[in-house]
Amino acid sequence: MPFNNRTAVVTGAGGNIGRAICRQLGAAGVHVAATDVSMNTVTKTATELQALGYDVRPYQQDVTSAESIQSSFAQIISDFGKVDILINNAGVWCHHDGGCRHLLETISDDEWKRIIDINLLGTFHCMKQVIPGMAERHYGRIVNLGSIAGNSGLPGAADYSAAKAAVIMLTKVAAMENAKRGITVNSVSPGMVARGDVKPNSGTWLGRSGTADEITRAIVFLADDDAGYITGVDVPVDGGRILGPHNFDINTDGKFLS
Ligand SMILES: NC(=O)c1ccc[n+]([C@@H]2O[C@H](COP(=O)([O-])OP(=O)(O)OC[C@H]3O[C@@H](n4cnc5c(N)ncnc54)[C@H](O)[C@@H]3O)[C@@H](O)[C@H]2O)c1
């Protein structure tokens, strides 16, 4: 039985992709602890999904604080009994000033630390919380959010690109360390994701941005019981952007465009 009585923690669950993850896991019958630094947004996620009959419960959690992570996980384990699935989705790439593109030499030490802490340190701390229990029960699925920025780099986001590249490597090492303990660890690397409707995007082979639901399909697949023979991989869900520049593009009639 896929997702037989499984319990999941989803971080950053008040955001665009986090909401979609909670929705798809909830619809599959998974009991979901939805966490976010913003209690408002995560409560909105949980309330909407509870109205559909899904077991999605909100928790406040700041992934940059070891103390906050520890206390929220203690509460979650007391409420749910166990954590079978961890989705490390909380992540940001824009700075406090709202700007999302900064040349490396203009990034302050504080912003560098903030971006690394949310994307990388938070992922590390959450994994530390769940691995001992998963190893004891000899079952676990961990899916971390990478990014196309962590694979091929994003100019204007050196901090975020470095953090996501590190998340992808952290994933591979954790997969090796936990392979014999029944825990799989994988990452999913989105390309550009639209909020709402799909938008044209000439940087991808598919010529469009993706949706939160499309990213989530890959995450949920890796989180399933049936994905037990896949570990240590990074799955790009990016419309083919990782394939590189499309200099020899072909149109819908199969004709070369250049
Ligand atoms: N949207 C994209 O185009 C894209 C592309 C590649 C990778 N990603 C990755 O996907 C994940 C989700 O992205 P999204 O587009 O849904 O982002 P989003 O901004 O919609 O959601 C991110 C969530 O993380 C939460 N968050 C921020 N700081 C936090 C903290 N300190 N502790 C806990 N939660 C915190 C925010 O409150 C928010 O709800 C991120 O890891 C992001 O890096 C997104």
pLDDT of residue 113 exceeding 80: yes
Asked whether residue 157 is assigned to any structural domain, the reply reads: yes
* Ligand 1 lined by 167 (C-beta under 6 Å): no
Q: Mean pLDDT over all residues of the chain? A: 96
Say which DSSP state 234 is in.
E
Say which DSSP state 187 is in.
E
> Mind listing the pLDDT tens digit for each residue in 34-89?
999 999 999 999 999 999 999 999 999 999 999 999 999 999 999 999 999 999 99
- Closest ligand 1 atom to Cα of 68: 32
* Ligand 1 lined by 14 (C-beta under 6 Å): yes
Q: Amino acid identity of 110?
A: D
The position carrying tokens 């999913």 is 188
Asked whether residue 1 is assigned to any structural domain, the reply reads: no
CA of 216 to the centre of ligand 1 (A): 13
Asked whether residue 248 is assigned to any structural domain, the reply reads: no
* Ligand 1 lined by 90 (C-beta under 6 Å): yes
Q: State how far the alpha carbon of 65 is from the alpha carbons of 55, 93, 107, 230, in Å.
A: 26, 18, 22, 31
Confidence grade of residue 1 (pLDDT, cut at 50, 70, 90): low
Q: Which of 54, 139, 160, 229 is catalytic?
A: 160
Structure tokens at 10: 């989803």
Looking up residue 87, the CATH number of its domain turns out to be 3.40.50.720
Asked whether residue 89 is assigned to any structural domain, the reply reads: yes
Q: Which domain holds residue 15?
A: 7-243
Number of structural domains in the chain: 1
Asked whether residue 185 is assigned to any structural domain, the reply reads: yes
Structure tokens at 76: 């979650």
Does 139 participate in catalysis according to the annotation?
Answer: no
- Closest ligand 1 atom to Cα of 88: 41
Asked whether residue 255 is assigned to any structural domain, the reply reads: no
pTM: 0.97
* Ligand 1 lined by 159 (C-beta under 6 Å): no
Asked whether residue 252 is assigned to any structural domain, the reply reads: no
- Closest ligand 1 atom to Cα of 215: 10
What mean pLDDT is predicted for residues 130-140? 98
Taking alpha carbons only, the member of 138, 139, 168 closest to residue 152 is 168
pLDDT of residue 258 exceeding 80: no
Sign of the four-CA dihedral 44, 9, 123, 161? negative
What mean pLDDT is predicted for residues 102-107? 96
Asked whether residue 254 is assigned to any structural domain, the reply reads: no
Give φ, ψ of 141 to 5 degrees. Answer: -130, 120
